[in-house]
Amino acid sequence: MTSSARAGRASSPDSIVITGLGLIHGLGLGVSALLEAVSGAGGAGGVGAGAAFAKATADKPAAEPVECSDFEPEDYRESSKTYLDRCSDLTLGACYLAVRDAELSWQDGEHPRWGVSLGTAYGCLESMLNMSGRVQQKGMRFGSPVIFTHSFANSPGALAAIEYDLQGPCMTHCVGDLSGAAALEYALAVLRLGRADLLLAGGVEAISRPLLAGVERDGLGGIPAEGAAILVLETAAHAAARGATPLAELAGAAVLAGSGDGGALARALGDARAESAEVAEAPVACGHTFGAELALDAAVCVGLLTQGHQGPLAAVSRDGRAALVFKRWDER
Amino acid sequence: MSEVPSPKSEGGARCPVITGMGVVSALGDDVPAFWQGLVGNRSGIAPIDRFETEGLRNDLAGQVRDWAFDPDEFGLDEAPDLAAQFLLTAAAEAVGDAGLALEPGCVAERVGVVGATNFGGAPSWEEYVAGLLEGQAAPELFEEFGFHSGLEHLISHFGLGGPVELFSVACASGTAAVGAAADAIRLGRADAMLAAGFDALAPTPLAGLSVLHTITAEHIRPFSADRSGTIFGEGSAVLVLEDYEAATRRGATIYGEVLGWAENSNAYHLTAPDHEGAGMTRVVRSALEDAAVAPESIDYVNAHGTGTQPHDPAETVAVKAVLGDRAYEIAMSSIKAAVGHMMGAAGAAEAIATAKTITEGVLPPTLNYREPDPECDLDYVPNESRPAQVRRALSISAGIGGNNACVVLGAP
């Protein structure tokens, strides 16, 4: 590339679209369960501020953390594993679902222009506790090398890259509750800059003993919960070339250190060249999923747009510091 | 050495330049101590004295010594986690060096940060787990452990309101933070960005790295035939990046330009490098393409150079594959024998070392080098620093999980 080309390097005008969703959450698997809960409770989650619990939570005591009890990890993996942290289980499971939803043919070789961008607030805490417990109670020699390797925050994303031969960009974002949005913002930038053609992007969080014992529940905005949401993001050109049908467009994103001056939503709307957007969110019944939160909200946005909502729709963090703007994808 | 026209002269494109730097390391609490230690051929590696090391393969580490932190200086009631202390201190040096007027209570909406850490508040985690195992979990310790907690302290103290990001891709994190911060400048999302890597030594990570035999039982010897593993370190490294035009207008000192970068995955194995360093080869090539810099324009490589048996030859293969004959004309050195492998801070510290190499015209050495290895047959600046004119350089990092990152720096 000549220096003049580099000087002119800017985001590509090609749109960035979502062609598949892989979701695991307290209400089950996939976006349909989320949208059913939204519509069934007359506005709990979905578009507008969440209010009542969805009827699917009628059987769940309000105080219990929300686990993804419908999810059997072994049923949602491409290859067998001897050990995985729960966070990696959820990540690979959501990737499994997303890849199929997008009808992605990944088995045909290496993919240097496909990648991963994953957000998680706390990563693999159960494995971290296992490792630290052994070290503290038995001594330095008694840590497990396997468990230690799987305790790294980037191990879920790395495992996804290994599973699907994704040799392109591979990033793990740990910005607390903003992590899922950070992952999607990063993927948007990577694709616009032409550094990749496709990324599995989203957020994940696993229930664990350290998390439940340590997190301050006041101010969470929901019951602690686990979940994973992976969106298949690609350039519109790449999607068209492989015959994929976009579900929606990720048009804008912003993740900020502060929330002043209109916050991240104003920035993301500017990025999306949109004047306004209604805010959509996952049902309250899903609980507070930390690093997966905004990725699940994003999936709801996509789901509502495919159902015919006019959009734009936005996923916005409760503190106003992160926002993602989605538009309907009309055939061009 | 071919000349590449400066993009600063072309059509108003934004060019991220380094205007401030701060380091806390085993060599000392600021950049002068860090740099003078490196080019003075000194090592800050010594036995750990902060916690028990019984059972580790090695009690050596690049521990920050004689550490003092005054929470009042940062408007805090009490000292945060040690990793956050390192971060705040290095950031204060960098922001002061850049001459940026940042202060709590005044939100700078065009100033952001990209952080990098492997383990977050690791010392707080150890305390938290000890309490949890006794049935007395302390939520305040869990909060201080959080990967992003150190960053939130930094945001609060410096009044940042711009883009925020925190990467955790093992030892590739710091280099990726520098590259992503540069992108934010280049894309006009911020007027100034901090790229901030931080990590602190703690028993659990060292125990894990010890049982993996990543840690050597003797001394770290990058690229030496008798190498047997790495030694870890701690600290923080922070760079301030701004657009060249804005920096020039306000008379800021410019230490170098971030010309381009790349990150990727080996997509091979969680701990073993891929055959022939294919992942690192791709990332170096992608970084040069992103920077629009020809391989023959590179004058120096700051290597990841961990001193493990598999990594060093793989990195050598990658550099030779991309630079070709140029690899034999230039130097490639690793500073890890001087400060230890600083984990999430390593890539940012190495970017600072590379910027200093460019501006000072001195190559930092690879310490403890003893025996040439036929598989590592480049000039690693063995044991002693030496002068060299460097206008463009690479800094490479790689981490557990198979993550790689590479940044290309140029003279101001």
pLDDT at A62 over 60: no
Cα–Cα distance, B228 to B240 (Å, whole number): 36
Indicate the pTM of the whole model. 0.95
CA distance B112 to chain A (A): 7
Instruction: Give the model's confidence band at A40: pLDDT under 50 very low, under 70 low, under 90 confident, else very high.
Output: low
Q: Is any Cβ of chain B less than 8 angstroms from the Cβ of A330? A: no
Q: Do A144 and B211 touch (CB under 8 A)?
A: yes
Helix/strand/coil for B406:
strand
Judge contact between B227 and A78, C-beta under 8 A: no
Closest CB to A131 among B143, B204, B282: B204
Crossing angle of helices B122-133 and A125-138, in 10° steps, is 70
Check if the beta carbon of residue B312 is closer than 8 Å to that of residue B305: yes
Residue-wise pLDDT for A285-332, tens only, equals 889 999 999 999 999 999 999 999 998 999 999 999 999 999 999 754
The verdict on whether B269 is a catalytic residue reads: no
> For chains A and B, what is the number of CB pairs under 8 angstroms?
253
pLDDT over threshold 70, residue A45: no
Dump strand ranges (E) for B307-357: 331-333
Burial of B25 (0-12, 13-18, 19+ CB in 10 A): buried
The residue segments making up the domain with residue A191 are 14-327
Answer yes or no: are the C-beta atoms of B201 and B53 closer than 8 Å.
Answer: no
How much is the pLDDT for A288? 94
Contacts of A199 in chain B (CB under 8 A): none
Contact residues, chain A, for B265 at CB < 8 Å: 115-116, 158, 161-162, 166-170
pLDDT band of A284, cuts 50, 70, 90: confident
Average pLDDT rounded to a whole number, residues A97-121 = 95
**pLDDT tens, position by position, B203-243:** 999 999 999 999 999 999 999 999 999 999 999 999 999 99
Looking up residue A99, the CATH number of its domain turns out to be 3.40.47.10
Residues 292-351 in B contacting A (C-alpha not used; CB under 8 Å):
292
Residues of A with CB below 8 A from B56's CB? 140
User: Per the structure block, which two tokens stand in for A100?
Assistant: 């199929």
At residue A249 the predicted structure's pLDDT band, cuts being 50, 70 and 90, is: very high
Which of the following is catalytic: B15, B153, B157, B171?
A: B171
CB atoms within 10 A of CB A141: 14
How much is the mean pLDDT over chain A? 88
Catalytic annotation, pick one of B153, B157, B219, B304:
B304
Question: Would you say residue A234 has pLDDT above 90?
Answer: yes
Task: Tell me, yes or no, if B106 is annotated catalytic.
Answer: no
A148–B contact, CB cutoff 8 A: yes
Q: Which residues are CB-contacts of B84 (< 8 A; sequence separation ≥ 6)?
A: B121, B144, B149, B150, B153, B154, B198
pLDDT single digits (tens) B320-362: 999 999 999 999 999 999 999 999 999 999 999 999 999 999 9
What fold is seen in the domain B16-249?
Answer: Peroxisomal Thiolase; Chain A, domain 1 (3.40.47)
Six-digit token pair at A277? 């957007």
Residues of chain B found within 8 Å of residue A321, distances taken between Cβ atoms: 164
Say which of B107, B148, B267 has its CB closest to residue A176.
B148
| A3-28 tens-digit pLDDT | 333 433 455 668 999 999 999 998 88
Please indicate, yes or no, if residue A310 is contained in any of the structural domains: yes
Is residue A152 less than 8 Å (CB to CB) from chain B?
yes
Say what the alpha-carbon torsion angle A230, A236, A241, A247 is, to the nearest 10 degrees. Answer: 50
Q: Kind of pairing, strands A198-205 and A170-173?
A: unpaired
Backbone angles phi, psi at A41, to 5 degrees: -105, 15
The tally of domains found in chain A comes to 1
Using CB atoms, pick whichever of A7, A174, A257 lies closest to residue B160.
A257
User: Would you call A243 an interface residue with chain B, using a CB distance cutoff of 8 Å?
Assistant: no
Q: Is A91 on the interface with B (CB under 8 A)?
A: no
Instruction: Decide if B171 is catalytic.
Output: yes
Q: In B, residues 165-184, which contact A (CB 8 Å cutoff)?
A: 165-170, 176, 180, 183
DSSP lists the bridge partners of residue A24 as A29, A228
Residue B5's pLDDT is 33
Contacts of B133 in chain A (CB under 8 A): 133, 136-137
Q: If DSSP codes are grouped into helix, strand and coil, which group holds residue A161?
A: helix
* pLDDT confidence bin for A81, thresholds 50/70/90: very high
Assigned domain for A242 exists: yes
- Portion of chain B with pLDDT greater than 90, in percent: 94
- A82 at B interface, C-beta within 8 A: no
- The reply to whether domains B16-249 and B259-410 share a CATH topology is yes
Q: Chain-wide mean pLDDT for chain B?
A: 95
Chain A: nearest CA to B356, how far in angstroms? Answer: 25
**Which pLDDT belongs to residue A33?**
84
- The string of pLDDT tens digits covering residues A202-216 is 999 999 999 999 998
Half-sphere exposure of A64 (CA within 13 A, CB side): 10
Mean of the pLDDT values across residues A58-84? 78
Task: Say if A95 falls within a structural domain.
Answer: yes
Whether residue A59 is predicted with pLDDT greater than 80 in this model: the reply is no
CATH topology of domain B259-410: Peroxisomal Thiolase; Chain A, domain 1 (3.40.47)
Ordered by start, the domain boundaries in chain B are 16-249, 259-410
Residue A160 one-letter amino acid? A
Per-position DSSP letters for B41-89, written without gaps between them:
T----EE--SS--TTSS--EEB---S----GGGGT-SS---HHHHHHHH
Please say if the pLDDT value at position B36 is more than 60: yes
Using a CB–CB cutoff of 8 Å, tell me whether B210 touches chain A: yes
Q: Which stretch of DSSP H or E encloses residue B403?
A: strand B403-410
Look at residue B389 and give its three-state secondary structure: coil
Three-state DSSP class for residue A27:
coil
Are A154 and B271 in contact (CB < 8 Å)? no
Chain A residues with CB inside 8 Å of B282's CB? 112, 167
Token pair of A231, please? Answer: 């969106």
Question: Does the beta carbon of B131 lie under 8 angstroms from any beta carbon of chain A?
Answer: no
Whether A4 is in a domain gets the answer: no
Q: Between B109, B137, B147, which is nearest A213 by CB?
A: B137
A7 in a domain, yes or no? no
- Whether the per-residue pLDDT at B282 is higher than 70: the answer is yes
Q: Does residue A111 form part of some domain?
A: yes
A270 confidence band (pLDDT: 50, 70, 90) = very high
A53-76: average pLDDT: 63
Residue of A84, A132, A177 to mutate when probing chain B, most B C-beta within 10 A: A132
Residue of A nearest to B54 (CA): A140
Does a structural domain hold residue A221? yes
Express each pLDDT in B163-188 by its tens digit. Answer: 999 999 999 999 999 999 999 999 99
**DSSP string computed for A219-283:** TSSS-BB-EEEEEEEEEHHHHHHTTPPP-EEEEEEEEBS---TTHHHHHHHHHHT-S--EEEE--
Per DSSP, what are the bridge partners of residue A228?
A24, A204
